[in-house]
Amino acid sequence: MTYYCENEKIIGRETIQQAIEKLPETFIQTHKSYIVNMNKVKRYDNHFIFMNGIEIPISDSFSQTVFSYLKNL
């Protein structure tokens, strides 16, 4: 697993499921390969989250959780 932080990239040896269990509730899985800190989201549409020039996909299987969280911000 690779963590992309504001100033660095950190490589870990855990699965996404293990990581999501350890991270605060502001981290939401948006796709089978992505976890996002929702406090850093700049904008979004029906298919992507945009943060700092990065386009992160929102899969159909995680969209309900993602949009439910975004509505409550």
- Per-domain boundaries in the chain: 25-73
Between CA 14 and CA 49 the distance in angstroms is 24
Q: Model pTM?
A: 0.85
Q: Are 7 and 25 in contact (CB under 8 A)?
A: no
The pLDDT of residue 2: 87
Tens of pLDDT, residue by residue over 29-54, are: 999 999 999 999 989 999 999 988 88
